[in-house]
Amino acid sequence: MAVPTISERPVRRPALSPSRAGDFKQCPLLYRFRAVDRLPEKPTKAQVRGTVVHAVLEDLFGLPADQRLPERARELIGPAWERVRAERPEFADLFTAEDAAEQAEWLASAEGLLEGYFGLEDPRRFDPEARELLVEWELPSGVLLRGYIDRVDVAPTGEIRVVDYKTGAAPREVGEAKALFQMKFYALVLWRLRGVVPRQLRLMYLADRQALAYTPDEAELARFERTLEAIWDAILRAAKSGDFRPSPSRLCDYCDHKALCPAFDGTPPPYPGWPEPDAGVETALDRAD
C-alpha cells in the first residue's frame, strides 16, 4: 500500500486549544512555530515524567475502587512508561542503554509525585465520569475549541468538577493565572456542551501536595468566551499575512526555537501558509480583513 505524500494527507481543521491560545498570548511567533510550522521540540525529562504520571493516574481509575492504593500505583509506573514510549517514539531517545541507573532514578521520582497525589485525595472514594476526555465545541464565529481534560467528576446531584493534574510545584501568580486560563477553557467547553457550568475547577499540584479550587460562574465564562474569540481573530489576521511577531521575555531562554527568532538575530523558515483543509472553500481566514 502506497504511503500518501504530505500534500495528499488530510489536514485537520485548525482549532484552538488552551496551550496554543496561551502560546499566542505569550508570543505570536511561538504560536506559529508550534501550530503552523509544527517545528519539533525536544521533550524534557520532567515533561515526559509528567506524561507517565498522567498515564498512571488514568490507569489507576480503571481499577476496581478497592485496588486504587499507593503500592498499586507504583506498580503501574513501569507499564505506563513502556506504553508512553511506544506511543511516542521521540521519547525513546530520552535515555540510552548506558543510562539505566539514571532511568531507574527518574522512574523512582515519579513515585514521589504519586505519593503527592495520594496526599491530596483518596481515589477509592469515588468513580470519575471521564478520564483524558477530548472535548470540542464550535463558537458562533466558527472557531473550534479543542482540548483534553484530565478528569471529570460528576456528583449524584449532577454537579460537575473538572480536575487537572500538575506534576510541578504550585506556581506563583503569573503561573496560576495561566493554569486558571486552561481550566476556564475546559469549563467553557463543558458548559456549552452540557448546558451546566462546572461547580468546581480543581488544580492538583502533586510535587508539593497543594490543590487550588476555583468556582466559575456563567457571566465569567461568557466573558472568557469573548476573550477566546478575540484571540482567534488576532490569530486569523496574523495567519492571513504571515505576520506572527515575536514577543521577547525571560521565557525566551527556555524556547527551543530561539535560534530562529528575529528578536535574537535569527531567521524563521518561510511561512508555509495557513493549514486549511480545503483552500477552495471560504473560511474565517478569508473574511478576516
Contacts of 104 (CB under 8 A, 6+ apart): none
Which pLDDT tens digit goes with each residue over 95-113? 887 888 998 999 999 999 9
User: Is residue 16 situated within a structural domain?
Assistant: no
Cell of 145: 475549541
Quote the pLDDT of residue 1.
Answer: 37
CA proximity to 83, closest of 60, 122, 104, 52: 52
User: Is residue 61 situated within a structural domain?
Assistant: yes
**How would DSSP label each residue in 13-28?**
PP-B-HHHHHHHHH-H
- Tell whether the model's pLDDT for residue 281 goes beyond 90: no
- Tell whether the model's pLDDT for residue 248 goes beyond 60: yes
User: Is residue 58 situated within a structural domain?
Assistant: yes
Quote the pLDDT of residue 98.
Answer: 82
Quote the pLDDT of residue 186.
Answer: 97
Mean pLDDT, range 138-148, rounded to an integer: 91
User: Is residue 107 situated within a structural domain?
Assistant: yes
Quote the pLDDT of residue 174.
Answer: 60
Which pLDDT tens digit goes with each residue over 44-54? 999 999 999 99
Rounded Cα distance between 9 and 36, Å, is 16
Q: Please, which pLDDT band fits residue 89 given cuts at 50, 70 and 90?
A: confident
Residue 235 · residue 36 · CB < 8 Å: no
Mean pLDDT, range 66-73, rounded to an integer: 98
Strand extents, DSSP E, 50-197: 130-138, 144-154, 160-166
User: Is residue 166 situated within a structural domain?
Assistant: no
Mean pLDDT, range 62-89, rounded to an integer: 95
Rounded Cα distance between 150 and 144, Å, is 20
Domain count, the chain: 1
Distance of CA 38 to the CA centre of its chain: 15
Q: Which domain holds residue 86?
A: 45-124
DSSP state letter for 273: -
Rounded Cα distance between 151 and 50, Å, is 15
Mean pLDDT, range 229-249, rounded to an integer: 95
User: Is residue 109 situated within a structural domain?
Assistant: yes
